[in-house]
Structure formats: structure tokens, C-alpha cells
Amino acid sequence: MKIVFAVFVLVLAFAGSNSSAFAQQETPTGVQVEKDIALMRRDLRTEKKRIIALNLTLTEGEAIKFWPAYDQYIADMTKVYDQFYDTVKQYAANQKTMSDADASASLKRWGELLVQIAKTRQRHIPIIQKVIPPHKAALFFNVDRRLYSLLELQVVSEMPLLIQ
């Protein structure tokens, strides 16, 4: 289980090592950033369920109950993350020309969305714990959080640091 997850982490790390944030280069066009983010999100969504399944050993009865709860969780998280990535995109596209008020509003929105992401996850903990034992629920949320952290890292690495 750990091997599959470790390999996935390494693949994502290597994929992100050429990002503009690490190289301190100019941002690619807004269209390219949007395409890159969409591709990363699609790739992770494609692999995420498989990685969860490989790391979370479920009985047949648990699986029957878990996967619909998982699908609802992912749908709810996707709604919030869509807003999060839109905020990241807007910042990346406008960071060099935004006013202090716009930067402050962007920062405030980013913080609000991080809280909303945490609240969405928190709301689903008891739902997941009703369909699988708590130790398996803890493992699920541990793996899930790591996968989301990797995706966030990939997305924000597409944004160069603003240098004054």
C-alpha cells in the first residue's frame, strides 16, 4: 500500500519540478495555466479512486456502502475546489496588475475557501465513519488529504512568486 502511494508521490513531484514557481520564470499564458491545472486535476481524479482502493482494504459489505459515500464526498469537495482553483487562476492571471485592495480580496477569498474545504471534509467524517470502521475512515482521510495536498502543490507551483 505504501509503495503505491510513494510511487504516486514521486511521479507528481517529478512532474512539478519543472514548474515556473521553482524556476522563477514568467508565468505561461493564462490559457496554458488553465490547461495545465485541468490536466493535473483530471489525472488525479482518474487515479485517486484507484489509489484509495489500493490503500483501503474494504470488505464487500463495506465497499457497497463506502463508494457511494465517497462519490458524494468527492462531489462536494470538487465544488469547493473548483472555486479554489478559480481563485488561484485569477490571482495568477492578474497578480502583476492587481491593486492592494484586489490582492487583499484575493487573499481573503483564498482563506475563506481553505476554511470551507476543511468544513466540507469535517462534515463528511461522520458519514464515512457510519459506513466503514473508524480506523479505516482515518486511513481514508489520511490518504485523501495527502492526495489533495499533492494536487494543491501542483496547482500553486504553476504560479510564480511575485517579485517586487
Residue 113's pLDDT band (boundaries 50, 70, 90)?
Answer: very high
The model's confidence at residue 163, banded by pLDDT at 50, 70 and 90, is very low
Percent of the chain whose pLDDT exceeds 70: 68
pLDDT score at 27: 46
| 164 found inside a domain | no
pLDDT of residue 161: 60
CA distance 113 to 39: 22
Mean pLDDT score, 135-160: 86
Confidence check: pLDDT of 82 > 60? yes
In a domain, 35, yes or no: yes
Pinpoint the alpha helices (H) of 17-57: 20-23, 30-55
Q: What mean pLDDT do residues 103-122 have?
A: 93
Q: What confidence score (pLDDT) does residue 108 get?
A: 93
pTM: 0.72
Residue 26 DSSP SS3: coil
* pLDDT number for residue 154: 77
Is pLDDT of 12 > 60? Answer: no
pLDDT for position 152 = 81
Distance of alpha carbon 24 from alpha carbon 18, whole angstroms: 10
Number of domains in the chain: 1
**In the predicted model, what is the mean pLDDT of the chain?**
79
Q: Is residue 107 domain-resident?
A: yes
pLDDT (tens digit per residue) in 13-55 = 444 444 443 333 344 455 555 665 565 556 666 788 899 999 9
Identify the domain containing residue 50 by its residue range.
2-156
Is 18 within a domain? yes
In a domain, 64, yes or no: yes
DSSP state for residue 161 in the 8-state scheme: P
Structural domain includes residue 163:
no
Cα 121–Cα 126–Cα 54 angle in degrees, nearest 5: 70
